[in-house]
Amino acid sequence: MSVQPVGFLVVGNGAIRLLPVDGNAVVDRLIDTVPDLLDRLTGMFQKKKRTSDDIIIARD
C-alpha cells in the first residue's frame, strides 16, 4: 500500500487554492478560478466607475 498525493494547497496573496497533481483536472481548476476572476472584473469596473464619479468640472 502506498500514499499518493491528490493535490497541494497553495496559499498566497490572501487566497487558498488546491493545485491538483493530476494533469487532467483542468475543468476543476477552471471552476476554482472563476470566482476569483469575477471578483477581479467586478473590482475593475467599480474602480472605473468611481474614478468617473470623482471627476468634478469647475465652471467659471
Classify residue 22 by its DSSP letter. Answer: S
pLDDT per residue, tens digit, the chain (60 aa), is 888 888 888 888 888 888 877 766 677 777 778 888 888 888 888 866 655 555 666 665
Classify residue 32 by its DSSP letter. Answer: H
Q: How far is CA 37 from CA 2, 32, 40, 55, 60, in A?
A: 37, 10, 5, 28, 44
Q: Please tell me the distance from the alpha carbon of residue 38 to that of residue 60, in angstroms, as a whole number.
A: 43
> By the 8 A CB rule, do 18 and 9 touch?
yes
> By the 8 A CB rule, do 11 and 26 touch?
no
